[in-house]
Structure formats: structure tokens, C-alpha cells
Amino acid sequence: MKRSNEEVRQRRKQLIDLIKTSGFSDVKTLSHQLGVSEMTIRRDCTVLSEMGQIKQTHGKIEYCEAYEDEAHPTDSIEYIKDRLAKEAARQVKDGDTLFVNTSTSAAQTLRHLTDKRISLLTNNTSVIQMEHHPKSTIVLSGGEIRYPKAALSGDIAVESFSHVRSDVTIIGCSGLDLQTGISTSVIHEAKVNAKIIENSGKLIVIADYRKIGKQSNFTIGAIAAIDLLITDHYSDPKVIDLIEQQGVQVIQVPV
């Protein structure tokens, strides 16, 4: 299966490169260039279109320049993140005490937990606007509000997580790399995230394929601290293998 996923990933990378080089193409041409069936090309193009990497119009296939601008994530990336969040929600049992950090992917998990009674401690103020189970307990950590994310940080936030231990923790990150571990790009959230990881029961990390193998500025935990990594099947299989060798269970969600 891993070998098959790698072949698909490589083929789709070649497909994107061909479209990007020529400016546009069509199913028949790409089928001939890659030596695969037109049905395979159509299937690949459907997936890549949903991911925002290409766009299809009346049989014409074009490269999507907007995909390269991570400051404007595409709806398809949000779709992938939601699929990962839904899988993470499956790991939470009724009655669990849950930690969630300021990651949008981690917070999205809560939208799939409205049928479960949980005790939530978080520094993510976006949870205020979400629907929750009527018997759930929602606690904000307190601390300094940092915009634009409206994240709670500082010593008060760290202290809040110092006296509680979760059953399950769900976090997102900016990077996941063998050398630098779990990392974030936001210095003000680094200490809070580190304390969240330290006091976690089962630690679940949600990271889409863009984060796998990437290094960010501030390390918040070691790869070996992760109990479960939830990612998608576009993640680099070589990096995934190395992560699994650290004793981490990995679920790759098909998208």
C-alpha cells in the first residue's frame, strides 16, 4: 500500500509539473505523456482540483498559481484539514478530559464532537463560538490575548495547563521533522504548547502533508512524545516511515 501511495504521489507530481511547464493541457495529452489511462488522469485531476493545485474548465487543465501562496489557503486544504479533524474526533470518548491548542485543525475537531460530553481546557478562544454537547465543560486557560488568532498565551495560560492532565490532547503544529521535532512558528505560544504536551495523556497531532518533514522556528516537543499522528496520504512516505520508527502510530486519511 505504501508503495502504491508513493507511485500515485510521484505520478501526480509529474502531472502538475507538466501542466505548470506548458501552461495548460488536456486529459488525452497527459495520458499520452505519462503512459497511463485517461481514466487515471481524470481521477488524478479531480483530486488535484479539489486540493486547489489545478483548475479544470471545459476540458482545459491549468496550473493554479494561487496554490503556491500559503497566505491564502484554498478551500481544498480546508477540506483536507476537516477530514483529519473528523478522524481525530473518533479518538475521543464520551467523558474524556481534552486539551486543544490554538491550531485551526485541532479546533475543527470540536465540530465533530457535539455528540460527546467532554471536559475541555484550551487556549483557543474560537471555541466560544462553537456548538458543544449541552453537558460538556468548556474552560479557557486565561492569559494574554494575542491577535490576529486571539490566542491565549503567557504565564497564566501555562499555569492553567500545569495542574491538569488530559485523557486526550489534540494539537496542530507548523512543522513535524525528525531533527527539530514538533514545532511552531509563534514564539508566544511555544511555552503553552510545550506544557500542553508535557501534561498530555494520549497525544494526537494533526498535520496535513504541508507540515510533514517541515521545520519551523520553535520546538515544542519530540516526535517520540506523539502517540498518534493523523495526516493525509499525500505526506512524504519516507518521512512517515521514519516517524513510525520512532514508535508513533500513523493514520493517513484518504482524501
Residue 148: is the preceding peptide bond cis (ω within 30°)? yes
- Set of cell numbers at residue 49: 482540483
Assess contact for 103 and 171: CB atoms under 8 A. Answer: yes
Look at residue 131 and tell me whether its pLDDT is greater than 50: yes
Q: Tell me the three cell numbers of residue 159.
A: 499555569
175 near 214, Cβ under 8 Å?
Answer: yes
How does 72-92 read in b/e, with b if 16+ C-beta sit within 10 Å? ebbebbeebbbbbbbbbbebb
Give me the residue spans of the domains in the chain.
2-68, 75-253
Q: Which of 33-42, 53-62, 95-104, 150-159 has the lowest mean pLDDT?
A: 53-62
Evaluate if residue 75 carries a pLDDT over 70: no
* Distance from the Cα of residue 198 to its chain's centroid: 21
CATH dotted code for 2-68: 1.10.10.10
Mean pLDDT value of segment 197-226: 96
Comparison of pLDDT for 115 and 64, the residue scoring more: 115
CATH architecture designation of domain 75-253: 3-Layer(aba) Sandwich (3.40)
Question: What is the DSSP secondary structure assignment for residue 93, as one 8-state letter?
Answer: P
- How many other CB atoms are there within 10 angstroms of residue 134's CB atom? 7
**Distance, CA of 214 to CA of 218 (rounded, Å):** 12
Measured between alpha carbons, how far is 32 from 174 in angstroms, rounded to an integer?
A: 38
C-alpha cell at 118: 467532554
pTM of the predicted model as reported, rounded to 2 decimal places: 0.73
Could you give the CA distance from residue 193 to residue 172 in angstroms, rounded to a whole number?
10
Q: For the segment 160-204, what is each residue's pLDDT rounded down to a tens digit?
A: 999 999 999 999 999 999 999 999 999 999 999 999 999 999 999
Torsion angle defined by CA atoms of residues 218, 173, 188 and 199, in that order, rounded to the nearest 10 degrees: -90
Under the banding of pLDDT at 50, 70 and 90, the label for residue 69 is very low
Percent of the chain with pLDDT over 90: 72
Higher pLDDT, 97 or 59: 97
